Homo-oligomer: A and B are copies of this chain.
């Protein structure tokens, strides 16, 4: 349920509504807006008599929400969500590029990449310290040591760090070390992990599961938000279909419906989506045109020597050329780039 406060409702009136909701054994989620505050309610609202809340001072109306996801729904939060990070704003009217290698390979390479990105106006570095590999015998990432390298790069260059968290055990370490916590496609319904990142106050980039419907995906976002962490970025990265022309089927068609149903920002990963470097630029431009708020792209100083996923990584020259094209097109779509 959603309680909409009157324009000009006082902080005290809002507090009293929050309290009344708690007394009913439900969880209130206050969402201040430009002109008025709305309060989302989660928990078993089936039996709640909305009249108990409608009679309180400052309440305009109570709206029953029909979607199974609530905090993630546009119905409850009509305006697009913007995230304010130290490195800049993410969300409506902007277009953000996150780039970097598949995995942290060594300190020199991460520093070199970070400096290149910053010089080219890219404010976020992606690089895996912990890697979810299909094979137990494949390189599993540098682990905590990799995390330290990423922190060094941040100290030296100011770049924001985006990296994947694979288990609850390392959540605390990530909270200190990273700017955006990534949840990978294979863990999109690892509910224990979603609940754990719901406890942090770091933005979470939530990749779509390989066979997740839009509703599944928004419900996964809801798990994070139900814990009080409202800073969720959705990220399309390709789904599993019968199609064999690329590694996955990058589903740009999900972006308009995701925008219609949810207020959360949505990014696209054209590197995993296509699995092939040559297809990344076209799909990046298409992502921008389709309404996405940003990209997460694999880029590597020497793709052909990458420890993993080199075939889908751009080299630095390719990334620069793509940035130039994006910068040309973004203003036509009402988006600013840094």
Q: Mask for A249-289, Cβ within 8 A of B = 1, else 0? A: 11111111110100000000000011010110011011111
With contacts A289-B286, A291-B282 taken as known, whether A243 is within 8 angstroms of B251 at the C-beta atoms is: yes
CB contact list, A293-338 vs B, under 8 A: 325, 328-329, 332-333
Judged by a CB distance under 8 angstroms, whether A244 is at the interface is yes
Number of this chain's copies in the complex: 4
Which one of B216, B257, B283 lies within 8 Å of A252 (CB-CB)?
A: B283
Docked pose: A133 CA to B192 CA in angstroms? 11
With contacts A192-B166, A289-B286 taken as known, whether A137 is within 8 angstroms of B279 at the C-beta atoms is: no
Task: Check if A253 sits within 8 Å of B250, measured CB to CB.
Answer: yes
- Nearest CB in chain B to that of A185: its residue: B189
Interface SS of A by simple majority: helix
> How far in angstroms is the closest Cβ of chain B from A247?
10
Which one of B44, B135, B254, B256 lies within 8 Å of A243 (CB-CB)?
A: B254
> How far in angstroms is the closest Cβ of chain B from A95?
13
Residues of chain B within 8 A (CB-CB) of A279 are: 253, 256-257, 260
Docked pose: A68 CA to B134 CA in angstroms? 10
Counting chain A residues whose Cβ lies within 8 A of the other chain, the interface size class is 35 or more
Residues of chain B within 8 A (CB-CB) of A285 are: 289-290, 333
Judged by a CB distance under 8 angstroms, whether A22 is at the interface is no
Residues of chain B within 8 A (CB-CB) of A187 are: 189-190
Residues of chain B within 8 A (CB-CB) of A133 are: 191
With contacts A167-B168, A290-B285, A329-B289 taken as known, whether A137 is within 8 angstroms of B252 at the C-beta atoms is: no
Task: Check if B239 sits within 8 Å of A243, measured CB to CB.
Answer: yes
Q: Mask for A193-223, Cβ within 8 A of B = 1, else 0? A: 1010000000000000111011010010011
- A interface, CB within 8 angstroms of B: 42-44, 68-69, 132-137, 166-169, 186-187, 189-193, 195, 209-211, 213-214, 216, 219, 222-223, 226, 238-246, 249-258, 260, 273-274, 276, 278-279, 282-283, 285-291, 325, 328-329, 332-333
